[in-house]
Amino acid sequence: MNFRDKLAGEIDDPVVAQALKHFKASVDAWSKAAYSRPRTAVVKPVRHSVRLAASWALACVLAAGSLAGAVYEHHHRQELARIVARQAAEQKARQARVDAEQSATANAVTKDQDLLATVDSDVSREIPAAMEPLAQLIDDNGTR
């Protein structure tokens, strides 16, 4: 005995039992009609094309970002190399100026020393240079 038979056997009122039988028949007819009617398939919009477009856009953004980063890094390294080269040139120019100043100072000191040596030799002579031919005519004892 199933549930329907058990439920139908418990209902003593013939009007309620008849109403339940009619209700059951109408529900069965409605469900049979609902299952047998032709259905239209609902076409869902294709979402993988949106995902594909989004993935391509993201890939393009990542590629452009990587390329921009590489270009920036290359530019940055070139600027650093230019700065280092400029500093090296300035250092070399400074060193050349210092060397020139030291050379000029050394030349001036040498010229001064040569001048002082010349003055010293001129002062230490017994006879001036212009008088030397005449001095040779005179003997050491002062006579001719």
- Quick one: pLDDT at residue 129? 73
Instruction: Say if residue 24 is in the same domain as residue 89.
Output: no
- Quick one: pLDDT at residue 41? 80
Joined together, the tokens standing for residue 113 give: 């020393």
- Quick one: pLDDT at residue 87? 96
Instruction: Say if residue 27 is in the same domain as residue 74.
Output: no
Instruction: Say if residue 137 is in the same domain as residue 78.
Output: yes
Instruction: Say if residue 31 is in the same domain as residue 75.
Output: no
Domain interval for residue 26: 1-35
- Quick one: pLDDT at residue 17? 83
Alpha helix positions (H), the chain = 3-10, 14-36, 48-124, 132-137
What total number of domains does the chain contain? 2
- Contact residues for 127 (Cβ-Cβ < 8 A; gap 6+): 135
Instruction: Say if residue 76 is in the same domain as residue 130.
Output: yes
- Quick one: pLDDT at residue 23? 93
- Quick one: pLDDT at residue 4? 62
Burial tier of 20 (Cβ tally within 10 Å: 0-12, 13-18, 19+): middle
Is 129 inside any structural domain? yes
Instruction: Say if residue 30 is in the same domain as residue 77.
Output: no
Determine the Cα–Cα distance for residues 76 and 110; give it in Å rounded to an integer. 50
| pLDDT less than 70: residues of the chain | 1-10, 45-47, 125, 139-144
Joined together, the tokens standing for residue 144 give: 């001719």
